[in-house]
Amino acid sequence: MANKFEEFDDAELYSLLKNQDSNSEKAFSVLYDRHSQRLFAYCKRFLNNREAAQDIFQEAFVKFYNASRQERIMTNVPAFLLRIARNLCLNYKRTEIYHIAFEDYMTDTSSFDSDENTNDLISLVRIAIEQLPDEYKEPFILREYEGLGYADIAEITGESLSNIKVRIHRAKLRIKDIVAELEAVGQK
């Protein structure tokens, strides 16, 4: 029976959630399996806090499930899930004291999920991404880590397509500048 549900597309599974029966539970399970890894990775990258990301990730799926009770036609489940997670992440960042000093990055590498073989450049890029303002960081993460197109990012964030393109370009320029500064500090 589970194979039957795995053959359904996201929109069909979403429509089954309204029924509140065993089929809706199976449909939710398939949607969760399809999208949970990507959604958690987004939350974790955006917040750089595993525990907060886990909480927001779970809350996003609860809100998603509750939203399925409303009368709406779902055409893009991944974008809808990311929009929910994005709003929760932004709310979290607004309400929590969430600032890690630059010096802390230089001394605390435990904030990265890396092993001993991670090269210095990757670490510097991660530090640079964390230094980006949210308005640049979020579209950059959605584009480079989640693989979304500019139009999808614009839809999720509610920004214009041209604004998204500019922000991603500026994010890349800032990352390049920050990495250069960090390399210069490291060589002194």
In tens, the pLDDT along 66-80 reads 888 887 788 899 999
Question: What tokens appear for 114 in the block?
Answer: 């890396």
Q: Are residues 121 and 85 in the same domain?
A: no
Q: Are residues 134 and 62 in the same domain?
A: no
Examine the pLDDT at 112 and tell me if it is beyond 90. Answer: no
Cα-based distances in Å from 83 to 62, 120, 121, 138, 168: 14, 33, 31, 11, 18
Q: Are residues 120 and 35 in the same domain?
A: no
Q: Are residues 70 and 108 in the same domain?
A: no
From 95, 94, 91, 67, select the one nearest 81 (Cα to Cα).
Answer: 67
Domain end position, chosen among 72, 98, 124? 98
Q: Are residues 88 and 107 in the same domain?
A: no
Q: Are residues 83 and 174 in the same domain?
A: no
Handedness of CA 102, 43, 45, 50 (dihedral sign): positive
Domain end position, chosen among 98, 122, 137? 98
Domain end position, chosen among 78, 98, 118? 98
More confident position, 95 or 113: 95
Q: Are residues 116 and 129 in the same domain?
A: yes
Which range of residues forms the domain containing residue 133? Answer: 99-188
pLDDT the model gives residue 34: 93
Q: Are residues 87 and 113 in the same domain?
A: no
Q: Are residues 133 and 48 in the same domain?
A: no
Q: Is 15 buried (19+), middle (13-18) or exposed (0-12) by CB count in 10 A?
A: middle
Cα-based distances in Å from 173 to 39, 120, 137: 26, 19, 12
Q: Report d(CA 173, CA 181) in Å as an integer.
A: 12
Examine the pLDDT at 8 and tell me if it is beyond 50. Answer: yes
CATH code (residue 169)? 1.10.10.10
Domains held by the chain: number: 2
Examine the pLDDT at 121 and tell me if it is beyond 90. Answer: no
Q: Are residues 104 and 94 in the same domain?
A: no
CATH code (residue 22)? 1.10.1740.10
